[in-house]
């Protein structure tokens, strides 16, 4: 269709060239000079006149017509659309931000603390992260938002198993130390003299003014110890040592969760004397915690045994027996004796929250002691009492172990 834009004449006939025009005028001039008037001449002259007329018409047509145009490919015009109703465009919904962390049951994270006389406490968060608080530990939430969870370990020791957090920051503050993680396992211990951070797997960043450059990074198997300067606490301990001797100073240190310091103040012989002189269940429990949590588990046996001997009617006697069984099974590796002590703890009557653990640990102790028939019977008793118990899978494994 592009060829139709050219003049039709240009498609039928080429225009006259200047050379052809000159030749025609030359022949006209020659005939004028000859003067012949014959009929033949007239015919010839008539032919010339016709030729001149045709030439004139061609010249006029050439002047009036535009020269052929160069044709270029053209983009067809946009198709017109009849106007219609305007449809709103909704932007894509962004991904929801990370939810605020809470406990596994959805309740906000409360202030958590474990008394020295109580066993360790395990807390599970809504994202699967777990926190295990040792006796004497206290933990609270400073901030809990979709962008950050900031916890404060004011005293004692806690172990953290942190699920991958994505864009949320997970931080633990202990005195002058801040630990930042993404997904890892670590333990923080906050005492009056130092804060210790130990990493079992993953990687953490530890910030403290006492560290070189103000921070350090720890990976699996590494630890950082940051000294804590608390003049007031040191003065109180010194005053207690002067007024009541090493035993009073040790009690003050243990009450603050500094069990290593408490045991070092007493020494091994002083510790035995303190156990013999203890006047209450509270004093014996504190001495047992001092030995157990300072790395002297064998020394924890005697104060726990004396509670059952001296105070069998006290409601805490069963808890002391359970703590003793744990020491014997986990730290002293004496499962046979642990099984006997667990029988005593169950007989004394444990709180509902501890009873399931005692029944389950009895199956474990009997299995490890080689008492497989007794372990199977103990497992059946556990499953009867706790058909949907949280230790069910472990109990079944220990009952069938040979």
Task: Please give the chain's pLDDT, 402 residues, in tens.
Answer: 444 344 333 334 444 555 555 555 566 555 555 544 444 445 444 454 444 454 444 444 444 444 433 333 333 333 333 333 333 333 333 434 456 788 888 888 888 888 888 889 999 998 889 999 999 899 988 888 888 888 999 889 999 999 886 678 899 999 889 999 866 889 999 887 788 898 888 889 998 877 777 888 888 878 888 877 555 545 555 555 444 567 788 887 777 777 888 888 888 888 999 999 998 988 898 898 889 888 899 999 999 999 988 998 888 888 889 889 989 998 899 999 999 999 999 999 887 778 888 999 999 999 999 999 999 999 999 999 999 988 899 999 999 886
Give the 3-state secondary structure of residue 125.
strand
Neighbours of 283 (CB within 10 A): 16
What is the structure's pLDDT at 319?
A: 86
Q: Which residue has the tokens 């005028």?
A: 25
Instruction: Say how far apart CA 184 and CA 66 lie, in whole Å.
Output: 85
Instruction: Say how far apart CA 249 and CA 234 lie, in whole Å.
Output: 10
* CA quadruple 270, 241, 174, 207: dihedral sign: negative
Instruction: Say how far apart CA 379 and CA 367 lie, in whole Å.
Output: 10
Instruction: Say how far apart CA 56 and CA 377 lie, in whole Å.
Output: 130
CATH T-level assignment (fold) for domain 112-227: Jelly Rolls (2.60.120)
Instruction: Say how far apart CA 117 and CA 119 lie, in whole Å.
Output: 7
Whether 192 contacts 178, CB under 8 Å? no
Residue 370 in tokens = 């080689």
Residue 326 in tokens = 């744990």
Percent of the chain past pLDDT 90, that is, above it, reads: 26
- Exposure letters 131-158 (e unless 16+ CB within 10 A, then b): bbbbbbbbbebeebeeebbbbbbebbbb
**Helix ranges, 138-258 (H):** 231-255
Nearest C-alpha neighbor of 233 from the set 263, 256, 210: 256
Q: Which CATH number fits domain 244-400: 1.10.268.10, 3.40.50.720, 1.25.40.10, 1.10.3720.10?
A: 1.25.40.10
Whether 317 contacts 311, CB under 8 Å? yes
């Amino acid at each position: 269709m592009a060829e139709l834009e050219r003049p039709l004449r240009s498609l039928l006939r080429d225009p006259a060239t200047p050379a052809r025009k000159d030749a025609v005028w030359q022949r006209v001039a020659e005939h004028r000079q000859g003067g012949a008037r014959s009929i033949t001449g007239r015919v010839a002259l008539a032919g010339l006149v016709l030729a001149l007329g045709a030439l004139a018409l061609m010249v006029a047509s050439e002047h009036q017509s535009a020269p052929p145009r160069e044709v270029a490919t053209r983009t067809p015009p946009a198709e017109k659309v009849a106007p219609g109703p305007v449809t709103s465009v909704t932007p894509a919904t962004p991904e929801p931000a990370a939810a605020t962390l809470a406990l596994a049951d959805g309740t906000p994270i409360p202030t958590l603390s474990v008394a020295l006389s109580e066993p360790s406490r395990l807390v599970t968060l809504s994202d699967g992260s777990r926190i295990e608080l040792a006796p004497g530990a206290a933990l609270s939430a400073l901030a809990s938002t979709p962008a950050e969870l900031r916890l404060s370990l004011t005293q004692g020791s806690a172990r953290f198993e942190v699920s991958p957090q994505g864009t949320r920051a997970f931080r633990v503050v202990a005195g002058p130390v801040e630990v930042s993680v993404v997904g890892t396992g670590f333990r923080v211990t906050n005492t009056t003299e130092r804060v210790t951070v130990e990493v079992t797997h993953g990687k953490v960043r530890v910030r403290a003014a006492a560290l070189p450059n103000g921070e350090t990074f720890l990976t699996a198997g590494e630890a950082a110890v940051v000294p804590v300067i608390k003049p007031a606490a040191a003065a109180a301990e010194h005053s207690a040592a002067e007024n009541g001797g090493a035993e009073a100073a040790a009690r003050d240190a243990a009450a603050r969760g500094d069990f290593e310091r408490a045991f070092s103040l007493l020494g091994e012989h002083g510790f035995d004397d303190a156990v013999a002189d203890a006047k209450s269940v509270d004093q014996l429990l504190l001495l047992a915690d001092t030995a157990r949590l300072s790395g002297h588990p064998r020394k924890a046996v005697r104060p726990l045994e004396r509670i059952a001997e001296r105070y069998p009617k006290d409601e805490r006697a069963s808890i002391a027996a359970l703590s003793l069984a744990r020491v014997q099974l986990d730290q002293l590796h004496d499962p046979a004796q642990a099984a006997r002590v667990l029988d005593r703890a169950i007989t004394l009557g444990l709180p509902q929250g501890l009873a399931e653990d005692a029944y389950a640990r009895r199956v474990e102790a009997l299995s490890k002691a080689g008492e497989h028939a007794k372990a199977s019977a103990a497992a059946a008793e556990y499953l009867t009492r706790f058909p949907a118990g949280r230790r069910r899978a472990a109990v079944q494994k220990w009952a069938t172990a040979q």
